[in-house]
Structure formats: structure tokens, C-alpha cells
Amino acid sequence: MTSLVNLDIHDLARSGKTFGIAGCYLITPDEGQTTLIHHITEFWRSAPALMYNPHRSEALSLIKTGSSIEDCMNEITNREGMRPKVITTTARKLDSQISFAQIAMIVGSEPVLILFGTGYGLTDETHTAADCILAPIEGNGEYNHLSVRSAVAIVLDRISSEK
């Protein structure tokens, strides 16, 4: 993550819970951001927060941290017994991108790790190392720069509605 936004943590968790994902990894090598993520998620597990909004804690239980993509892939591999298929996302049109319908066929048949970027998006190296790249979300105009929390919600909805 280029920067941590409190709303991203909450909204990513809520989208993940709504669409039944196994985990939502926030990947950052920055220890300060990792500490902040843990501070926020631990607060919502505390007694006062649970009394205020117990559903928030349930959704935030999906949030996990990792210092690298490889760390997250290893954790998923250990949990699922096989390496996840890595799918990257981008707002750009690139060669050989796959559709939401194609990804929907993969999801459920094998573990997947869908990577979203913040700021300027994922690096070209990350896209090259991935198993596939998802076609961009397209709106009605030329502008195409969604917040990560909006992009995740749209992608999860489109994948689930293609099944």
C-alpha cells in the first residue's frame, strides 16, 4: 500500500465478508503501517467496540497483513494445500487481459490471490509475474481512477454475479 486509509481497512473487510472471501491481505513492507493496521483491527475487537458494533469486528477478522506478495502466497499455500493463482488488476488496458467471466470460472476451483494496487497501481514486474491480469473496470467516460475500496467491491460483485 502506498498509504494507509482507515476507511480502506473497514470497507475492504466489509466487502470481503459480504462476498465470502477467505482473507484480505494488506501488503506493506512499512512496519509503521502494519502496526497501525493491527491497532485498528485490535480496537474493534475490544469490549467497548464490540458493544458499539459487533459486526465490524466480524468483518475485520478477515484482515491480515503481509510484508510481501510472496509472504501472502506462502500463507495461502499452507492453508489451502496448493499455490494460489495470482491475478493482478489495473485501470490500464494491457495485452492478454482476462474477463470477469473467466476469473469467475477460476474462483472456487482453486485458491486465488487477486492483487489490487493503490496510488500508481501495481508495478509492471508484478503484472509480469502474475498468472493473469484482469481487464479493467470501465465506466462511461475517459476518467478511470477508482479508490481501491471501490475497485475491490466492483470486482468481487462482478465475479460473484458471473457464477
Per-residue pLDDT tens over the stretch 63-73:
999 999 999 99
Question: Is 137 in contact with 80 (CB distance < 8 Å)?
Answer: no
pLDDT at position 51 is: 86
In CATH, the number for domain 6-162 is: 3.40.1280.10
Residue 106's pLDDT band (cuts 50, 70, 90): very high
For 132, half-sphere exposure in the C-beta direction (CA atoms, 13 angstrom radius) is 17
